[in-house]
Amino acid sequence: MPLQIDISRYENLALEPQDDGVWIVTLNRPEKRNALNLDTIEELVDFFSVAPRAGVQAVVLAGAGDHFCAGLDLIEHHDADRSPADFMHVCLRWHEAFNKMEYGGVPVIAALQGAVVGGGLELASSAHIRIMDRTTYFALPEGQRGLFTGGGATIRVTDLVGKSRMIDMMLTGRVYQGQEACDLGMAQYFVEGSSFDKALELARKAAQNLPLTNFAICSAVSHMQNMSALDAAYAESVVAGVVNTQPDARARLAAFADKSAARVRPNS
Ligand code: 1HE
């Protein structure tokens, strides 16, 4: 019996389940440019903890308004006047949320518009696919604010663009946008139209895969990056042993064998 997600409990995220198992999850504080306060982080933890067991096939992660996310809620942080231990625990909750996203097994497709900055870029980099459009720009303003990244940028943004670029972004506040940002790996898609429309299209496509296959793609690949090549090869074999023999795959293999399944062709 899948778990239920009680949409009415969420105040900082807007949750919209679609008929095909895709859920649209929108950061819903546009008046604060979707800055990440503690409550938003807790709602992300809640949602992504349950989503893999609630029949969620894919997630479109979006931001309400003109900007995806302005990063850490600087006003909340200022007013709370936190101790080092307090802020360490804040960061641990961010990691809890973002690790649930990256390792949870449900495809997360981020629709990026406007500012994707600081913790907003850390959030985006936890998604499996990022779509940007003409309005999207990326930055790590932590350096200018007297701060340091605390939501995984040292791991995930470095993974996307490399150590030297990440350090430059933090030291100088450098902003990346347009084709250059996409070419560097900030996003996998750069669209002329709306990033949201493309994200929904891709989420619907991913949702047609078997859930166990998607689970492996959106969990095992990340775990294996943390292993030695020797251990990753072993883990890959075990995962493939389970996934590639799943009963639901038999119909798809049979369709290939009887030539009714679509073939892989170059883009026209
Ligand atoms: C905020 C935040 C925020 C806006 N925390 N309240 N992140 C940053 O350094 C980015 C800070 N934000 C900005 O640079 C700009 O706000 C934006 C480029 C995102 C948008 O600009 P704009 O002109 O559309 O909006 P605005 O007038 O600057 O802000 C509108 C409101 O949103 C305003 O609130 P209001 O009550 O005065 O109307 C802003 O205070 C509020 N707002 N951004 C709180 N970030 C785990 S460590 C992670 C470390 C970091 O993420 S550091 C990077 C923080």
143: three-class secondary structure by DSSP:
helix
CA distance linking residue 45 with residue 123, whole number of Å: 12
pLDDT at 73: 98
Please state the rounded mean pLDDT for residues 239-257: 97
Mutate to test the pocket of ligand 1, among 12, 29, 33, 98 (most ligand atoms within 8 A of CB): 33
pLDDT at 84: 98
What does the radius of gyration of the chain's CA atoms come to, in whole angstroms? 19
Please state the rounded mean pLDDT for residues 148-164: 98
Ligand 1 atom 25 nearest Cα: 33
- Rounded distance from Cα 46 to ligand 1 centre (Å): 24
- pLDDT(12) > 90: yes
pLDDT at 196: 98
To the nearest whole number, what is the mean pLDDT of the chain?
Answer: 98
CA distance linking residue 211 with residue 207, whole number of Å: 8
Q: Which domains does the chain have, with CATH numbers?
A: 7-207 (3.90.226.10), 211-257 (1.10.12.10)
* Binding-site residues, ligand 1, Cβ < 6 A: 32-33, 35, 67, 70-75, 91, 94, 115, 117-119, 141-142, 145, 147, 149-151
What digits encode the pLDDT tens for the residues 191-228? 999 999 999 999 999 999 999 999 999 999 999 999 99
What digits encode the pLDDT tens for the residues 17-56? 999 999 999 999 999 999 999 999 999 999 999 999 999 9
The residues, ordered by sequence, that sit 6+ positions from 169 with a Cβ below 8 Å of its Cβ are: 138, 139, 140, 157, 161, 176
137 beta partners: 115, 177
What digits encode the pLDDT tens for the residues 96-128? 999 999 999 999 999 999 999 999 999 999 999
